[in-house]
Amino acid sequence: MPDIFVVSENIYDDWQIDEKFFIDIAKKILRFYLNQSQVVDSCCLSGFDYKTISFDFLFCDSVKTHEINREYRNKDYPADIITFAIFADSEEKFIFDGEINLGEVMIALDKVIEEADKKGVAKEHELAFLISHGILHLLGFDHQTEEDYNFVIDLQNKALEYVKI
């Protein structure tokens, strides 16, 4: 199993999340995914040799995700999550000194709180759900078809069970 290095930054003042806790959750979720043959066989890491996987989280608000959505994705709405899958989306897979940088996940914490309220779940559960979703995107999984969507959601639910959230 590779070493996993995760950096996070929270620029959302209204919820000072326990970043260490959620980094640990992200690492456990990634390890869970890397133990699933259907993930390993078809993710962006398949066929590459590496010792370390790294990625970043930016916890922000929906004003920031709206700005990023407009600027980089040509979409004029705030998103709960935006993923920049550097390794998965690159034509040239760059591995430096045995490390793969998967990219960055931006999560709007105000949207997390709003969605948790709608679903009637704890905001920590909803945040872990989005973290698991973002990691799958970093690994190169998408959900453009109903089959892909069901695959992603099923994996996320299993990952959350695994980490007991």
For the chain, the domain total comes to 1
State which residues form the domain around 145: 3-162
Q: Which amino acid is at 43?
A: C
* Global confidence as pTM: 0.95
3-state secondary structure of 96: strand
What CATH number should be reported for the domain holding residue 148?
3.40.390.30
Eight-class DSSP state of 77:
S
Tokens of 81: 């999550």
What ranges make up the beta strands (E) of the chain?
3-10, 52-60, 81-85, 99-108
Q: What would the pLDDT profile of 60-73 be if each residue is shown by its tens digit?
A: 999 999 999 999 99
Cα 156 from Cα 80, distance rounded (Å):
16
Tokens of 19: 């970043």
Cross-strand partners of 147: none
Q: What would the pLDDT profile of 16-62 be if each residue is shown by its tens digit?
A: 999 999 999 999 999 999 999 999 999 999 999 999 999 999 999 99
